Chain A
Amino acid sequence: MSAAPNTSERIVGIIRRDLKLGPELELVTDTVLFGGELDLDSLDALLLVQSVEREFDIKIPTDAIGPEIFATLGTLTQFVEQQSNAQANA
């Protein structure tokens, strides 16, 4: 039996699904979300936030959405884990 996907793998799954990316594009911790190969725009970010909220059953405050969180796949993963833990303990 395979292990359950971790946070990063789940976010990668969302990005691949929402942006309709093929499996050939490598997504790693250091992958830049804005301005890099992915080159997300603000609408992508808004829809990604929505998908992440649904996937992890968390609420992301709008004022928390900024370039620091969306810098790389790693920073986004770290933020989602922090939010998940904080809201689970609330």
Chain B
Amino acid sequence: MTSRAEDILDSLPHRPPFRFVTEVVELKGGESAKGIWRVNGTEDFFTGHFPDRPVVPGVLLGEALAQLSGLVVVDRLCRTGVRPFVSGNSTVQGKLAHVDIRFNDTVFPPADILLESRFERMLGSLWQFDVVASAVPNSAVPNKVGSLSSPLAKEGSKKPNDLVGSSTRLEDRRVARGTLTLSIPDAVTPQSEPAR
């Protein structure tokens, strides 16, 4: 993971064991992000969910997608210059306002879960995102910034501040899709498009 990706990830207020984005794979124009949540089956919650049959909780998939969406907020605010990004500090405090996610399939560990979030619209302090989670073979996701196939992907050229790497196609299995809304009360609402 690049230093910028690590800095962005550290801007989340969440810390282990309640951080569910292991790696930032892509940040694009303050509009979208892709990340990986790696689960190996030893995480504490698998002890009870469920004994002898570990399953990734759907509610944690939603949390992971919300955390990734938080990174889009940080990236977008950085690009608009509304709020300076400070490495290692939590500069944006928000909360989950609404979740509407359909879970299509079950994820069993070990698994790499590809998380995708795309900014949809903003209304006042509310930021709405389209989100998708896909389970991929445990070793299929490269340990570097990569451009992954995406059901949310929009056409567009690479921008200087984007995190987009080599092209890698993954045969993934979509496990969740929907929308979620974050409330970011402290942020001044940027009305203009983010700087590229």
Residue from the list B98, B123, B181 in contact with A65, Cβ < 8 A:
B123
> 8 tightest A-B contacts by CB?
A62-B121, A46-B123, A42-B124, A46-B126, A43-B97, A42-B123, A42-B126, A43-B98
Q: Is A47 an interface residue (CB 8 A)?
A: yes
Residues of A within 8 A of B39 (CB): none
| Contacting pair B122 A43 (CB below 8 A) | no
Other CB < 8 Å A-B pairs besides A42-B124, A46-B98, A47-B100, 11 of them?
A42-B126, A43-B98, A43-B126, A46-B121, A46-B123, A46-B126, A46-B181, A47-B181, A50-B128, A62-B122, A62-B123
Cβ < 8 Å to A, chain B residues 59-86: none
Per-residue contact bits, chain B 155-196, to A (CB 8 Å; 1 contact, 0 not): 000000000000000000000000101010000000000000
- In this complex, how many residues of chain B approach chain A with their Cβ under 8 Å: the count is 13
Per-residue contact bits, chain B 89-113, to A (CB 8 Å; 1 contact, 0 not): 0000000011010000000000000
Question: Bound state CA distance, A45 and B123, in angstroms?
Answer: 9
Question: Is chain A's binding surface mostly helix, strand, loop or mixed?
Answer: helix
| Size class of the contact patch on chain A | under 10
A43 to B: closest C-beta gap in Å = 6
Residues of A within 8 A of B97 (CB): 43
Question: B residues bordering A, Cβ < 8 Å?
Answer: 97-98, 100, 121-126, 128, 179, 181, 183
Closest to A60 in B: B121
Question: Bound state CA distance, A39 and B185, in angstroms?
Answer: 21
Most buried by B among A46, A50, A62: A46
Question: Bound state CA distance, A46 and B125, in angstroms?
Answer: 11
Residues of A within 8 A of B98 (CB): 43, 46-47
Residues of A within 8 A of B126 (CB): 42-43, 46
Residues of B within 8 A of A62 (CB): 121-123
19 interchain pairs (CB within 8 A)? A42-B125, A42-B126, A43-B97, A43-B98, A43-B126, A43-B181, A46-B98, A46-B123, A46-B126, A46-B128, A46-B181, A47-B98, A47-B100, A47-B181, A49-B121, A50-B128, A50-B179, A62-B122, A62-B123
Cβ < 8 Å to B, chain A residues 28-67: 42-43, 45-47, 49-50, 62, 65
B46 to A: closest C-beta gap in Å = 33
